Amino acid sequence: MILELKNISVRFSSGHNVQAVEDVNLNVAWQDKVAVVGETGSGKSILLLAILHLLPENAIVTGQALFDGIDLLTLKRRELDKIRGARISYVPQGSGNGMNPLYNVGFQVAEPMIEHQHVPKKEGFAKAVELMRRFHMGNEEKLARQYPHTYSGGMRQRALIAMGIGAGAEMLLADEPTKGLDERRIALVVESFKLLADKTILCVTHDLNFAGTISNYICVMYAAMQVEYARTEDILKNPLHPYTRDMLAAMPENGLNFNKGFAMSHEDYEGAGCKYAKRCSDCFERCMEAPPLFNIGGRQVRCWKYAGDDGNDQMKEVAGRVYTDPRSDKEI
C-alpha cells in the first residue's frame, strides 16, 4: 500500500465546531486511481488537505495517514517538505488557483524540479517544455513563456498536472480538476490522467462520469463520512449504500431521480444515528445508531443493512460467498 488512511477525522475547533471529516479509512495500492465523490460540503477537500497537513491551526486532525509507511500527520515540517512536492504532488481545487500570475508557466512547471531535484533553472525550463509536450499542449516552447492568464482552464489544469509530476512525484492528489470545464476540456484532463498510469492518484470530483473514466476505486463521502469504498465498476453497477444508489439515480443519464437527501443542511446531520437515515428509503430501527464500516467482498460500506442477521456487527455474506479483500487476499 502506498497510502493507508486510518480513522481520519477533522474537526474545526472554532465557530460551529464543524466535524468536517469523520472516520475515513482507505487503503490505496501503488498505481491505484481513487476518485473521492460526494456532494458539496461532504468533506472531500478537507480530507486531501488533512493528508497533506495543510489545514489551518484550528483544525484538529486525528487518525493516521501512512504514506509508504510514514505517518504524515506526525512529521515535522522539514520532513514533510521532503515528501510534499517531491513524492506527493497536489493540484488544488479551482483550475489555475495553484498558479502564480506573476511567473510564466514554464518556470512554474519547472519549479518543483528546481526545488526538490536541484535542477539548474535553464535545464528545468527545458524539461518543463518536454513535460508539456508529453501532455500534448501544442506549441509548447511558446506556451511555456506565456503567463497563466493566457491559458484556458483546461490548459492550466494540464500544466498543473505536469507541474505536479515534474519532480517525479509518485502520488498525485487532485481536487476537482474538471470543475468549470466544458466537455472538450474535460476530455483533455482525462487524457492527461491516462498518461499517468504509473502514478497513484487520489482525485476529488463531483463528476461521476469523470470518476468512472479515470478511477479503479471510488470512495463515496456523505456528511463528512465515507459511506462506501469499492471498485469503480462495483460502485457504478452495484452500489450497496442507499446514498450511493440515490446519487447514481440522480445522474441525468439515469433519469435525474433526485432523492430529498440532496438538499441537506448541517442540522439534518445531527443525531446519533446514520447521517443518511432521515432521507433513506431503506431506513429501519437500527439506523438510529451510528453504523460502523462493514467490509463486504473487499468493499466497505457504512450501512446496517449489511450487519449480520443476529444483529451483531459481523457482516453478512452477500450472495452466499465468502469475501476476501482483493488487495491482500485475506479472508474477511
Residues contributing to the site for ligand ATP (CB under 6 A) = 12, 15, 18, 20, 38, 40-46, 56, 93, 206
* Other CB atoms within 10 A of residue 323 CB: 17
Nearest-approach distance from CB 13 to ligand ATP, in angstroms: 9
Give backbone dihedrals phi and psi of 261, rounded to 5 degrees, phi first.
-60, -10
Of the pair 61, 143, the CB lying nearest ligand ATP is at 61
The site that binds Mg ion (CB under 5 A) totals a number of residues, namely 2
Q: Which of 261, 251, 311, 301 is nearest to 281 (CA)?
A: 261
By a kind-dependent CB cut-off of 5 to 8 A, residue 56 interacts, out of Mg ion, ligand ATP, none, with ligand ATP
Nearest-approach distance from CB 46 to Mg ion, in angstroms: 8
By a kind-dependent CB cut-off of 5 to 8 A, residue 124 interacts, out of Mg ion, ligand ATP, none, with none
Of the pair 46, 186, the CB lying nearest Mg ion is at 46
Query: Containing H/E element for 116?
Result: helix 105-116
Of the pair 270, 310, the CB lying nearest ligand ATP is at 270
Nearest-approach distance from CB 45 to Mg ion, in angstroms: 3
Of the pair 93, 295, the CB lying nearest Mg ion is at 93
**Which residues are within 8 A (CB) of 118 and not within 5 positions of it... i.e. 6 or more apart?**
none
Q: Which string of DSSP letters, residue by residue, matches 45-109?
A: HHHHHHHTT-S-TTEEEEEEEEETTEEGGG--HHHHHHHBTTTEEEE-SSTTTTS-TTS-HHHHH
Q: Which string of DSSP letters, residue by residue, matches 168-217?
A: --SEEEEE-TTTT--HHHHHHHHHHHHTTTTSEEEEE-S-HHHHHHH-SE
By a kind-dependent CB cut-off of 5 to 8 A, residue 43 interacts, out of ligand ATP, Mg ion, none, with ligand ATP
Select from 38-46, 54-62, 115-123, 312-320 the region that touches Mg ion (CB under 5 A).
Answer: 38-46
Examine residue 45 and tell whether it contacts Mg ion (CB under 5 A).
Answer: yes
Q: Name the region of 198 (left: φ>0; alpha: ψ -120 to 50; beta: rest).
A: alpha
Sites for Mg ion among residues 56-115 (CB under 5 A) = 93
Select from 45-53, 116-124, 189-197, 301-309 the region that touches Mg ion (CB under 5 A).
Answer: 45-53
Of the pair 9, 104, the CB lying nearest ligand ATP is at 9
> How many CA atoms lie less than 13 Å away from 292 in the CB half-sphere?
10
Q: Are 2 and 72 in contact (CB under 8 A)?
A: no
Nearest-approach distance from CB 152 to ligand ATP, in angstroms: 21
Of the pair 50, 83, the CB lying nearest ligand ATP is at 50
Distance CA 326, CA 316 (A): 18
By a kind-dependent CB cut-off of 5 to 8 A, residue 323 interacts, out of Mg ion, ligand ATP, none, with none
Nearest-approach distance from CB 226 to Mg ion, in angstroms: 15
Nearest-approach distance from CB 40 to ligand ATP, in angstroms: 3
Nearest-approach distance from CB 281 to ligand ATP, in angstroms: 24
Of the pair 9, 108, the CB lying nearest ligand ATP is at 9
Of the pair 162, 211, the CB lying nearest ligand ATP is at 211
Distance CA 156, CA 4 (A): 30
Distance CA 125, CA 108 (A): 9
Nearest-approach distance from CB 207 to ligand ATP, in angstroms: 11
